Structure formats: C-alpha cells, structure tokens
Structure 1
Amino acid sequence: MIDASLIDPDLTSRGVLVRRGLVLLLLLALAGALLLAYARGTFSDDVTVHAQLDDVGGALVPGSDVKVDGNVVGRVSRIGASDGGVRLD
C-alpha cells in the first residue's frame, strides 16, 4: 500500500495533470503525422523516371537493372507500347 503522505500534491494537481495530458496528446499527434508522412513516402529518395524509346531490343524486361557508369541506380518497372515506340517506367 502506498502511503498518501509521500505523494507530492504539487505533482497531482489538476493543472499539472491537464498539462501532462496535453503534452501526451501533442506527442501522439506528432507521431501520427510522422507515421502518415512516412507511409506516403515523404522521406523516400525514390524518383520515377519515364523514357520514350524507338526500340528496346529483346533483352530488356521489367525488373532489368538501370545502370549509370556501371552502378545500379534503379530497375525497370514497366515496359509498354507508346506512340511510335516504347515507354519505359
């Protein structure tokens, strides 16, 4: 059993409890906003690039690596027909 005389009344006053509750609500709202931003990809460095080519040859398929100076910088996600050529995403 806790001895009530050991509890500081200043820490349990109505004003202190209200402030604690408001701080908790603010922190929960901030955490929710950060989670939503993360889910929407706000903090992602992903960039979608589209290329319009006359011909891609027979070896390029979805999932193929995209390289710049020999370094893999992405993947082909989709290949589709376009006006007079092929569109890569």
Structure 2
Amino acid sequence: MTVSEVRCFLEGLGRRNRESWEQTRIIAYVIAQANSTKDLEPSDVLCFPWDEKEEKRQTAVTDAEMERLREKAKLIEKEINHG
C-alpha cells in the first residue's frame, strides 16, 4: 500500500467515523434540547474538529472582488446580448 493509498484509506475511515459521531451528536442534542429552556444548536452539545474547519472556509467578499465580479458579469452580459 502506498502513502497516497494509506491517506485515502484514513480519510475514508474518518468519514465513516464522522457519520457515527454526527449521529451521536444529534441524539445528545435532542435529549439536551428536551431538557433545556434555551434554544441550543447541535454544536453547543458536542463540538468536533471538522466544525472549526467549516467555519474557516467562510470568507467575506472584499469590495475589490465585488467590483471585479461586476465587471466580469457586464462582459458576459455583453457577449450574450451582442453575440
């Protein structure tokens, strides 16, 4: 087994374990929410390392990026309208 095959194997194993842990979190969340007066989120009950990674992916769009995308959209619109 090569290093890349081992990496793929471990990632697959992690995904399989993740599903099990997510199921555990939902069960714990339902029990906690039933006994709480506050509104809870599943991540309030159990936090996992992959929760942090998803938060890091969310980024704000800068004004310069918005302007670049507007200009690109105008060019595409011109191409569509004028053939």
Please report the TM-score for the alignment, with normalisation by the length of structure 2.
0.33
Which structure shows the higher helix fraction? 2
More strand by share: 1
Structure number with larger C-alpha Rg: 1
TM-score by length of 1: 0.31
